[in-house]
Structure 1
Amino acid sequence: MYIGNHLSSAKGYEAMGKQAVRLGGETFAFFTRNPRGGKAKEIKPEDVEKFLEIAKEQHFGKIVAHAPYTMNACAAKEDIRELAHTMFTDDLKRMEYTPGNYYNFHPGSHVGQGTETGITLIAELLNQVLHPEQTTTVLLETMAGKGSEVGRNFEELQAIIERVDLKEKIGVCLDTCHVWDAGYDIVEHLDEVLKEFDRIIGLERLKAIHLNDSMNPLGSHKDRHARLGEGQIGPEALQRIVCHEKLQGLPFILETPNDDEGYAAEIAMVKSWREGLK
């Protein structure tokens, strides 16, 4: 496994690569544009080249780009869906500057239209924006199930995947806080949860992990992240996740409420857990 955290893309790829190294990271995640939407920063090829050199030197794992939170593929309003299409298309083009990586997004909220309609609209958008030549794998994120979120269980994610034509371009990012809040007991029944994921979706589609503790009890459907070991999931369960044999080789991304010092400490802690595998 590769461990890293969310970084700001405002200063460019080279700066993100250097910051990841300073924090002890072996990968990282970044928003393709402001998390609340807006125009994306211009990509400079020379900046990307410098980052690619760092990534090669440091043996980085795959990096995980994150779509803005405002991108709602199954919104009730057509103009919001059109904006999602525009951002998605643009982001996939931009991802080809760093080929072969991951683009993660929240499936969306159906806003009263019903889950089935939401699933249909998300799949329709994916069929419009995915193309055979892209090297990026698009990841559906597991969600906590608050409000009208789509993706609150493995069945909903699989229902989207089933409707996508280019299934080879689709994967899943499992968020530990989200699945816990959604009702999957990864503390007492991690093996069973992974078996269920494999039965419904297939573990070969699991491409990345968001490693977070949760402020809330199992099945709360609230999505409140906590620092590692300071929430309801706890350090022992998180260590079992990091060290699970079926999750090795994946990028693990921290989305905990932290500053750089806190992230460096958490990355070091996760690395110490990983040492137990050797």
Structure 2
Amino acid sequence: MFQIGCHLSASKGFLHMGKEAVALGGNTFQFFTRNPRGGAAKAIDEKDVESFKAFAKENGIHVILAHAPYTLNACSADESTREFAKNTFADDLKRMEYVPGNLYNFHPGSHVKQGVEIGIDYITQMLNEVLKPEQTTKVLLETMAGKGSEIGRSFEELRAIIDRVELNDHLGVCLDTCHVYDAGYDIVNDLDGVLKQFDEIIGIDRLYAIHINDSKNPFESHKDRHEKIGEGSIGTEAFERIINHPMLADKPFFLETPNELDGYAKEIALLKSLRRE
């Protein structure tokens, strides 16, 4: 089954997002747990959650992806920023248990001139404090474009984080097509080679989600600017190969392209037309 969806606003609750996803032609969706720039999260409406669970079961929504706020930087040089990241992360994981068995994605962070090793140490310290044996949520490290001092620009950096986390059975990866292309992984001309690398370094069994985005910038630009599907440097033909690749075909795909809802509907229809079941 082709799992495809886009990023939706969580302001009206889970049931509304579920209905919106289906209306757009999708069967999954991504949402921010709170304002993407940070701040307090909206209280969970348990009736809404139960209504969503019933709707999801009826409409074939098997998994959804929550996204941590962009301000969450677990490897900041500033202790208060790291503390904010840890508290937000812990609160989000607690809230995610209202919709158990789903995914929570975050940007590893920027070390801001401290160096990759120190940055990775801070990230793993946080994960070792917030991950709980009983949680049902899978936490995903996102592949990054390598802009500035971002951590996660290489599969090796993500592997280093995973290896230092005690409860790493709760960890997976979200592969962003724009980010990996901008980082220097040639998914246009050597998709097989990139996936072989991923499997050898991280393990394809740790790949739980894909952000499917074109790129406004050329290969290995380290810029991280998303583009609509087929309108960037990755191109439609490459996306056809990506969504049909045997190592990726069973993963959920999430659009984060610069679109309004009608644009997402068109992209979902386009990708569904390229899919070979």
Alignment TM-score, normalising by the size of structure 2 = 0.99
Say whether 1:164 aligns with 2:162.
no
Q: 1:23-34 counterparts in 2 under 5 A?
A: 23-34=24-35
Partner SS, residue 247 of structure 2: helix
How far apart, in 1, do the equivalents of 2:242 and 2:164 lie?
30
Question: Which string of whole-angstrom CA distances, capped at 9 and with x for unpartnered residues, describes residues 224-276 of structure 1?
Answer: 000000000000001100110111221100000001110000001111111xx
| Amino acid in structure 1 at the alignment position of 2:217 | N
Question: Which string of whole-angstrom CA distances, capped at 9 and with x for unpartnered residues, describes residues 113-170 of structure 1?
Answer: 0000001110110000001000000000000000000000000000000000011100
Count residues in correspondence: 276
Partner SS, residue 28 of structure 1: strand
How far apart, in 1, do the equivalents of 2:172 and 2:214 lie?
23
Question: Which string of whole-angstrom CA distances, capped at 9 and with x for unpartnered residues, describes residues 45-79 of structure 1?
Answer: 10001111111011113100000000000000000
Which residue number in structure 2 is paired with residue 52 of structure 1?
53
How far apart, in 2, do the equivalents of 1:118 and 1:171 lie?
19
Which residue number in structure 1 is paired with residue 263 of structure 2?
262
How far apart, in 1, do the equivalents of 2:255 and 2:153 lie?
20
Which residue number in structure 2 is paired with residue 115 of structure 1?
116
Give 5+ residue unaligned stretches, structure 1.
none
Which residue number in structure 2 is paired with residue 38 of structure 1?
39
Which residue number in structure 1 is paired with residue 130 of structure 2?
129
Question: Which string of whole-angstrom CA distances, capped at 9 and with x for unpartnered residues, describes residues 180-235 of structure 1?
Answer: 00000000000000000000000000000000000111100000000000000000
Which residue number in structure 1 is paired with residue 88 of structure 2?
87
Give 5+ residue unaligned stretches, structure 2.
none
Q: 1:142-221 counterparts in 2 under 5 A?
A: 142-221=143-222
Segments of 4+ moved more than 6 angstroms: none
Alignment TM-score, normalising by the size of structure 1 = 0.98
Identity across the alignment (%): 65
Question: Which string of whole-angstrom CA distances, capped at 9 and with x for unpartnered residues, describes residues 25-52 of structure 1?
Answer: 1100000000000100110110001111
Tell me the CA shift for residue 11 of structure 1: 0.7
Does the 8 Å CA contact 1:172/1:206 hold for their aligned counterparts? yes
Which residue number in structure 2 is paired with residue 141 of structure 1?
142
| Amino acid in structure 1 at the alignment position of 2:241 | R
How far apart, in 1, do the equivalents of 2:36 and 2:27 lie?
23
Does the 8 Å CA contact 1:61/1:251 hold for their aligned counterparts? no
Question: Which string of whole-angstrom CA distances, capped at 9 and with x for unpartnered residues, describes residues 70-125 of structure 1?
Answer: 00000000000000011000000000000000000000000110000001110110
Partner SS, residue 4 of structure 2: strand
